[in-house]
Structure 1
Amino acid sequence: MIDTLPLFHRIKGQPVIVLGEGDAADAKSRLVLRAGGHVIADAAKGIAQSARLAFVAYEDRAAAADEAEKLRGAGLLVNVVDQPDLCDFTTPSILDRSPVLIAVGTGGVSAGLAKQLRLRLEALLPEGLGALAQALGAARTMLRRRFPDAADRRRALDVALGQGGMLDPLDDSSAGRVDAFLAGATLPDETLAEIVLTSLDPDDLTLRQARWLGGADGIAVEEGVPDAVLARARADAIRVKIARGQGFEAPGGVWVVVRR
């Protein structure tokens, strides 16, 4: 269960209200400008220009809460700086490998923790990650021709982008191998794996089991498997309920059977 839904909001060329003065307001203004938005420092003007987002950086909590309520009543989503309980959304710490963006958030409870996690990830992710994304984007038409079925495309890419794969995203030279991947890409074998849970705690999954869940096209789930375990699977994976002890014949692709 997550408390907030992470989204990437396009604001390029759009008005965004930023109210307040000082370092906090300046930081939010820079964030808006970095994403291509237009900073509007007047609430009425921003509402008239159909702004959809607003930042309120007032030191006085009561004044900030009052302003937030007015903006919310006008249909805007509001962020009140350093007041997570007054926020409709929070802003994460951003790792930029454009067009790849990794947002690290803590729901507003610890910006310092989010920053330190982002700095650790900065050291892990190569600068060429953005170039790999651009190359894959340019190859979308060719990839669709080679694999017309969306599930087949996903399976081929899962193998190529996996650890040690031809397009491993942690390998800084992967972007230069996209053409070679397209020329020789084949579908991996269809597989069916079974996970028998040793406990109901998802942290007790082995690394292999976690990879199976994260990469499966479909999951057959026995009664009693907790949602916390299934949250480790892809959100778009097909899910089928099965009775305790029931066999399962995978319809094709990569499937995982999860049993109590």
Structure 2
Amino acid sequence: MHSLPVFLRLEGRAVILTGNGDAAEAKRRLLERAGARIVCEDDPESRIAIVSDGDEATAGRLRARGVLVNATDNPALCDFTLPAIVDRDPVLIAIGTGGASAGLAKALRQRLEAILPAGLGALAQALFAGRAAIRARWPDASDRRRAIDAGLRPGGIIDPMKDDAAGAVPAWLEGTVDRESRLVVIRLASPDPDDLTLRWARLLGEADHIYHAADVPATILDRARADATRTVADAPPALPAKGLCLWLCLG
């Protein structure tokens, strides 16, 4: 991973913007959408700058002051890059290529724009508004996570790809969650994570406990939830832990 993706809250904060022309205006519109206060190069408060013309001298002066710089079309001078953005406020999806190809990032954004429903933001807001009810309905954190996973999975009652998912949140809150142990065996075709099927990738993202042979590579285990329990074993467990458990082995 060449960069750490982050989302910066810029509301009311000073951001330096230098350069002129169409590129500068595009960056200005983006910063204004984020609520930033756009300032000139000599502003002492700002710690972030966009050099819209990629000027090496300007970028060098700012970086020497400890300002984090994005220099358009000059990746070597960039402390951060600006991704292509799919905006379903409050859901934001950022697509970056580390400066390798803005065109590729744009093409991917356009594909995702066509796929993701307009109501995705409304679903996020409904889940945020229902946090207290969700905690009351499922006080146990593991039960709560399983209920959320079940609701959001493909075909689930609040599947985010459904246009009416936000309106289904009350019905989802009235549902039940499976607390029984369930063991799924995954025999990996290869140690390459790109060979995971869509179903296996989804199960890795949902599993509570992962039992795996010692030769299963970290690149595959990294596809699992960060808080999933991992256990190295020689064989599938006779009595798996509660919730969704996976047994991973090669071949």
Structure 2 residue 53 is the aligned partner of structure 1 residue 58: yes
**Number of corresponding residues:** 250
Q: Which amino acid aligns with 2:35?
A: G
Does the 8 A contact of 1:221 with 1:239 survive in 2?
A: no
Deviations 1:95-153 (A, max 9, x none): 11111111111111111111111111111111111111111110001101111222221
Which residue is equivalent to 1:9? 8
Please tell me the residue identity of whatever aligns with 2:114.
A
Q: Percent identity?
A: 50
What pairs with 1:63-74 in structure 2 (closer than 5 Å)? 63=57, 67-74=58-65
Who is 1:258 aligned against?
Answer: 248
Aligned residue for 1:44, secondary structure, equals coil
Q: Which stretches in structure 2 are left out of the alignment for 5+ residues?
A: none
1:28 Cα shift?
1.3
Q: Secondary structure at the match of 1:259?
A: strand
Q: What is the distance in 2 between the residues matched to 1:184 and 1:240? A: 29
DSSP 3-state at the match of 2:149: helix
- Amino acid aligned to 1:43: E
1:43 aligns with 2:41: yes
Q: How far off is 1:233 after superposition?
A: 2.0
For residue 95 of structure 1, give the secondary structure of its aligned residue in structure 2: strand
Is the 1:53–1:77 contact (alpha carbons within 8 Å) kept by the matching residues of 2? yes
With over 3 angstroms needed to count, the CA separation of the structure-2 counterparts of 1:187 and 1:244, relative to structure 1, is closer
C-alpha contact (below 8 Å) 2:54/2:74 kept by paired residues:
no
TM-score, length-normalised on structure 1?
0.88
Quote the Cα distance in structure 2 between the aligned partners of 1:246 and 1:96.
Answer: 43
Does the CA contact (< 8 Å) of 1:223 and 1:241 recur in 2?
A: no
Counterpart residue type for residue 242 of structure 1: V
The alignment's C-alpha RMSD in Å is: 2.0
How much has 1:169 moved relative to structure 2? 0.8
**TM-score normalised over the length of structure 2:** 0.91
Runs of 4 or more consecutive aligned structure 1 residues displaced over 6 Å after TM superposition: none
Query: Using the alignment, how far apart are the partners of 2:64 and 2:141 within structure 1?
Result: 42
Counterpart Cα distance in 2 of 1:12 and 1:221? 46
2:78 pairs with 1:80:
no
SS in 2 for 1:12: coil
Q: Which residue of 2 aligns with 1:156?
A: 147
User: For residues 15 and 165 of structure 1, what CA distance do their matches in structure 2 show?
Assistant: 43
Which has the higher mean CA deviation after the structures are superposed, 190-199 or 142-151? Answer: 190-199
Give distance in 1, aligned partners of 2:173 and 2:236: 40
Letter matched to residue 34 of structure 2: A
Taking a change above 3 Å as real, the CA distance of residues 163 and 71 of structure 1, as seen in their structure-2 partners, is same
Q: Deviations over 1:131-189 (max 9, x none)?
A: 11111110001101111222221110110011110001111011111111112343454
Work out whether residues 17 and 54 of structure 1, in 8 Å CA contact, stay in contact via their aligned partners in 2: yes
What is the identity, as a one-letter code, of the residue corresponding to 2:245? W
1:174 to 165, 168, 180: 165
